[in-house]
Each structure stands twice: as structure tokens, then as C-alpha cells.
Amino acid sequence: MIYLTLILCFICSVLLTPLVKRLAFKIGATDKPNNRKVHEKVMPRLGGLAIYLSFMLGIFIFAPSQESHLPIMIGGLIIVIIGILDDVFELPAKIKFIGQIAAALVVVFWGGVEVEWINSPFGEGKIDFGYFAIPITILWIVGVTNAINLIDGLDGLAAGVSSIALFTIAGMAVFMQNTYVIAIASLLLVATLGFLIFNFHPAKIFMGDTGALFLGYMIAVLSLLGFKNVTMISFIIPVLILGVPLSDTIFAIFRRILNKQPISAPDKFHLHHCLLNAGFTHKQTVLLIYAMAACFGMIAIIFSQAKIWGAILLIAVVLVMLELFAEIIGLLGKDYQPLLKRLKGKGNG
């Protein structure tokens, strides 16, 4: 049953995307070129609606009466409504943030999705988050939702990176025998892949905030369902799975702090901008970031099988490599190169 549902979900996404493209032009959900955008013509940007409708069809066929996912779907509906309104009217950031908080609150208080504790990595016992459990959960959902949105800057980028993350989450859920996460992640994966056919460079349609926010929200919730209340090691796994969008978001925050800019201020120094500035073509940049996302996925799988000290060493290596890569391509600004300067100093010495 699940395999037939996946096929139908994929076909539905392929068939719906051109219809959504027409709808986007009709209602004015378009993206106009400006100095921050890389496209040069008006583009429809409601594509996430095709992903959402195809996914919901899959949910209806696969598990129409399962009450456990109702809060998640209601939260998703809130996110999609906010996304559609933003794609048409360009909502203020404050309104979008309130919508994201509302969706997270629905999942936490109605759905009971909450990271309450993790096992201590250095012995027996557990670390109980207590009163911080709810804020941590809400921060995770809102943070990942925006991380996917921030990386949505090139044709096929957010859809491809999200697909790799969903594939990895589904794969990890197989190891953990979590059939619910396997099914939901797989349905969302095929709906996204159907849309990606029209979104890969040169794109015929953008997913817009409707798609980027919905994918971010669902990935955040699925990772919590798969890895909540487990060991410290497993708690880091979803962070690794989402390594590309999360690291890009973190570097963007630090970059704006260093430049004394508001954290929400837009700029052209995200990962994809820096790779384009380094001389890579549009398609090369997207494929390179896909490869990076796949590497993070493999690291997450290796990390899940590692012993405590091996896991700590792996994280240390990943952090150093991330910092070096960020300094080389200028993610924190062209003049911010503390690690590179130190290495060059030792080399000259």
C-alpha cells in the first residue's frame, strides 16, 4: 500500500506543479528580479502548494484516520497559509514569525512533540530539560523552518537539500524502526522530488515561502519525532542531517553581528552567493551544495554508530573543516580569516 501511495504522491506532484504555476501568475504570486536575486525575469513562486497538496493526498490515502498526526497537519496548514499570503502579498517578517510560533505551539501543546530529556553521554542518568523543554522544542522548529527558507536562493537548492535531509531522516528511522517517521518522510520526499523536476535549473517555478517554510517545518518536526528523548549522541544527529542550512544560518547570524547589522537583515553572502562569487556556475553551485548535504547525511549515519570519544572527535573535525571552508569562501566576510591567518603564520614560521 505504501509503495503505491508513494507513486501516486509523486505523480500528483508532477501533475499539480504546472497548474500551480498558472495559478501563481493569475493571483500575482510572482518573484520579481532585484539586486539580491540571481534570476532575471518574473517567476511564479507558489510551487510549495503543489508539494503540500500532493503530500496531503498521500497522507489521506495512507492514514486518513490516524489522530496522532492531526496536530502536525494543523501546524503545517498554518505554515502553508502564512507562506501563500507571503508569496502573494509579501508579509512583514514579524507576521511570518508569529505564524511559525503558532504552528510550533500547536505541535508542542496539542501533539505532545517535545524534547524533555536526553541521556548523559558520560555515564548513567539523564539530563532533564525541565522548564526549558518547551522553549528548546519551539526554538528548534522555528530555527529549522527559517534555515530551509534562507537557503532557498537558487533553482532547485532548497528542494534538493530538503530531499537529501528527508531521505537521511527516513534512512535513520529504518535503523530505529520508527515506521511512522519512515512513512511521513517518504511521502514528503516524493512530493518534493515531483516538484524538483520543474524547479531544477533552469527553474520554471519557485517553491516560494509556501514550500520553503512548510518543508522546514516538517523536517524539524520529523527529526524531533525520530530522535527525541534519546542519547546526547543521537540528539546531534538531526543537527548533522541539516548541516548545510543550519550552518549557513548560523554563519549569517554571526556575519551580521560582526558587521553590526540586524540579524534579520538580508545580504548576498549566503553559501550559494559565495560559491557563485568564487566562479562556480548556477548548476555547479547547486550540485556542490547537494554533495555537501549528502556528506552531512553520511556523517550523521557514521556518527550514530560511533562510540562517545569517536563521536566527539568527529564533531571536532567537522567544526574545524566548516570554519576553514567558511573563511575560504568568505561566509563571514572577506576579511574574517582567523584560522587561515593562524595556519599561514605557522606555515611561514
Binding site feature residues for Mg(2+): 149, 209
DSSP state of 231: B
**Dihedral angle over CA of 192, 197, 199, 201, nearest 10:** 140
CB 270 within 8 A of CB 150: yes
Residue list for the binding site:
149, 209
Query: Closest Cα partner for 275 from 33, 38, 32?
Result: 38
Alpha helices in 106-231 (DSSP H): 133-150, 157-175, 179-199, 208-227
**How deeply is 344 buried, as exposed, middle or buried, from its count of CB atoms within 10 A (0-12, 13-18, 19+)?**
exposed
Tell me, what amino acid is at 13?
S
Only one residue has cell 562517545, namely 308
Count of other CB atoms within 10 angstroms of residue 155: 24
Long-range contacts, 291-296 (Cβ 8 Å, 24+): 292/243, 292/244, 293/160, 293/161, 293/164, 293/165, 293/243, 293/244, 294/164, 296/240, 296/241, 296/242, 296/243, 296/244
DSSP string, 122-135: TSSSEEE-GGGHHH
